[in-house]
Amino acid sequence: MTALAGDVLRSFDPSTGAELGGVPLASAADVQRAVARAHAAFERGLWSRDAKLRARVLLAWADALEAQAGELVPLIVRETGKIVREARAEVAGSVDALRYNAGLARYVGGRAGTLPDGSVAHLERTPLGVTGFITPWNWPLLLVLRDLAPALAAGVTAVLKPAEQTPLVVQRMLDIGYGAGVPEDVVQVVHGVGPSVGAALVRHPDVRAVAFTGSSATGAIIARDAAATFKTVLLELGGKASNVLFADAELDRAVSAVVRNAFVTAGQMCMACTRVLVERSVYADVLAAIVARVRALRVGDPFDEATDLGALITEQHLARVLGFVEDPQRTGTIEAGGKRARPAGLSGTFMEATVVAGPARGATIVREEVFGPVVTVEPFEGDDDAIALANATDYGLSAGVWTADVRRAWRMARAIRAGTVWVNGYNASFAEMPSGGTKHSGLNRTRGVEGLELFTELKHINWQGLEA
C-alpha cells in the first residue's frame, strides 16, 4: 500500500553496504487504513467463507513463487547476506508452506454429537478476523508464509509488518501473490519500524490475533499490549538450542550436523545449534573434530557456491555478537574464530565461525541467545547432568539428542524442556508438524493442523428439543 507521508524505508546489502532501493515508509495512520480495509474484506465474507477460493489462490501463489525463484533468490541474498544455497532452500520452503496449507483450507470444520440430555452439540471453527503479522529479517519469506499461509487457509484477513531490513523481497513476494490472485484487501502490508507501526498494529482493537517471530524482549511487549484487547497471540521467540552427544552416538555424523546447523544464516537463526554438550569420555575428541570442521568453513561472497557463511545483518548486530566473545567476564577458550572476518573484495559485516570451549556453567554465553556464528562446547557427566545443563537457560525452542540407546533417547527427549527435540538428527522441519517454544521461547504453535486452528475460534451450537 502507499504510505500517506511519502517517506521511504531504504534497504542495504549487508555484504557490501550498497543501497538496494526502498519502499514507502508507513506510519500509525497507515496501519489504521490497512486494518480498516482488511476488516471490511473480512466482513464481506468472500474470502472467509469460500474455502475453494482460498485453496485455489494459495496454490496459484505457490506456483508463481516457484516460477519466480530466479528473481527471488538473489534478492534474498542481497537483502539478508545469507548464502545462495540457503536462499534457494528458503524459496522452496515457502512454496511448500503454501501448497500444504492450500490443502488444509478445506479442512476447517467441526464435529457434532449427542449430549447426555438428548440435545445435539455442534462444534464449528470460524476464522478469527483481522490478524497482524510481524516478521523477522533472517528468513524473510519462509517466516512470513509459515504463519501467513495457515492463517489465510483458515479464512482470516491479514496486515503484515515485515522486518525493516528486508522490505524489498517481502514486497516482491506479495506482488507475486497479488498477480496470482491474492486479493489486495485480504493481505495488506505496512513497512515500518516496530515502536510505531508494529505497536499500532498490535494495539488496534479490530486486530483479533497477532503472530510475531523475533526476540523474547519484544515478544513480551507484544504479549502485554495484545492482552489489553484479549487477542490471540502466536510468539516464536529466542532460542538457545543444545545438542547432547553421548559416547555411543555416531559421532562423526553428529559433529557434521552440529557444525552445519550451528552456522546456518551465519548463526542468525533461533533454532541454530549454539550449544554442544558432550559426554566427558569423548569430549576431547569431539571438540577437536568440531574445531577442525569449523576452521575449514569459508566466509565470503554469499553468491559463491563454495561459501559457507555470509554476512551478518548490520554493523550494530555484528558488534553485539562480537561482544559475547570479547566479554572480559567470559570463561573458556576460543578454539576457532572469534574475530571479524574481512573477505577479499567485500566491505560488509562478516564474522569468523567461532568455537568457545569449556565455558563456565551459568556463563552469559551459554545462557543468552547470541544469534551469530558462535558455538560453545561443554562436557557433561551422565544423563542427569546433561539434562540439567540443557535446561539451564530461560529458552526452550529446540534441542537435539544423539545416542544409540533408545531408552536413553526417549528419557532425554522428554526431560529436555523444548518445543522440538530431534533424536539423531537436527533442524529437520516440516509443514505438517507444529513448532514453537516453551519458557521464554514463545507461546502457541505454528505449522501443521494446529497452526491453522490457532487462527480460528471454536463455537458450540447447542440444539434443544430434537429428541426422538
Catalytic residue numbers, as ranges: 236, 270
3-state secondary structure 396-445: ECEEEEECCCHHHHHHHHHHCCCCEEEECCCCCCCCCCCECCEECCEECC
Can you list the positions of beta strands (E) in 256-353?
273-279, 333-336, 340-341, 350-351
Phi/psi at 340 (nearest 5 deg)?
-65, 140
What is the bridge-based pairing of β-strands 438-439 and 395-396? antiparallel
Sorted by sequence, the CB contacts under 8 Å of residue 207 that are 6+ apart come out as 35, 129, 130, 131, 132, 159, 201, 229, 231
Distance CA 447, CA 453 (A): 10
Cell of 5: 507521508
Q: Cell triple for residue 265?
A: 544464516
Nearest to 239 by CA among 261, 211, 209, 210: 261
CA 33 from centre of chain: 28
Q: Identify which of 239, 261, 262 has the alpha carbon closest to the alpha carbon of residue 437.
A: 239
| Rounded Cα gap, residues 376 and 354, in angstroms | 8
DSSP state of 309: B
| Rounded distance between C-alpha atoms, residue 337 and residue 298, angstroms | 11
Element (H, E) at 229: none
